[in-house]
Amino acid sequence: MIKVQVRPNESLESALRRFKRQCNYSGIFRLFKAHTWHEKRSDKRRRERRERLRTVLKAARRNDPNFRGRNARSNRARRARRAVRRPPARSAEGSSRPREEGSSSSAPSKTFL
């Protein structure tokens, strides 16, 4: 059971904020949410496995400055993969549609009658 004593000259809002923080830290809200509906055993195992993995990765990040994560790739691999997906750039000369003969690539010609 969580108890919060209101300090002298402390507002009720700040005491309530401390109470909510202690409830969060103790896990009361999580337990309340978990028991609001039924969770299958397989879902519970999957959720707990994800939570364990998250804590392990968090500890690894905290302890190792060169930690890259579970699915980390090097920058070289990322660039190579991006180059494969990107369509080739068109040159200024080669266009995808055919030109009409006799037209120049600069300003269009004007004919006066």
**pLDDT values of the chain reduced to their tens digit, one per residue, 113 residues:** 889 999 999 999 999 999 999 999 998 888 888 888 888 999 999 999 999 999 998 888 888 877 776 666 667 777 777 766 666 666 666 555 555 555 555 556 666 66
What are the Cα distances from residue 50, in Å, to 12, 18, 47, 53, 67?
38, 29, 5, 5, 19
Closest CA to 29 of 56, 2, 58: 2
Please tell me the predicted confidence (pLDDT) of residue 29.
86
Please tell me the predicted confidence (pLDDT) of residue 102.
55
pTM over cut 0.75: no
